[in-house]
């Protein structure tokens, strides 16, 4: 499963990701990949979260081959960094 849609992770089916998937996330490199991490699919399966350069064609063959059947979620790297805001603005934080 590979997609590039809005991702809403589900509760994980297991408390920690498979060690093999965690190792893939640490070692994966590709010119179109900006960041790699772990997430879960909407049904709770552990998956690779791959941020790619805007406009990159996905799925990336190298990534799919490295994932050994694990799901891959692709998202474009945001054009701007996230904005940090107070967690509880009404309370002055």
Contact 59, 89 (CB under 8 A): no
Q: Would you state the pLDDT for residue 5? A: 64
The whole-number pLDDT of residue 92 equals 65
Q: Is the pTM of this model over 0.75?
A: yes
Residue 27 has pLDDT above 90, yes or no: yes
Beta carbons within 10 angstroms of residue 76's beta carbon:
14
Q: Where are the domains of the chain?
A: 13-78
Provide the CATH number for the domain formed by 13-78 in this structure.
3.30.300
């Amino acid at each position: 499963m590979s997609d590039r849609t809005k991702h809403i992770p589900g509760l994980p089916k297991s408390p920690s990701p498979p060690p093999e998937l965690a190792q893939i996330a640490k070692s994966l490199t590709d010119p179109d990949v900006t960041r790699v991490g772990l997430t879960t699919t909407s049904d709770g399966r552990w998956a690779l979260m791959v941020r790619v350069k805007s406009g990159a064609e996905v799925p990336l063959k190298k990534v799919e081959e490295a994932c050994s059947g694990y799901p891959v979620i692709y998202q474009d790297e945001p054009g701007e960094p996230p904005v940090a805001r107070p967690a509880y603005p009404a309370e002055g934080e």
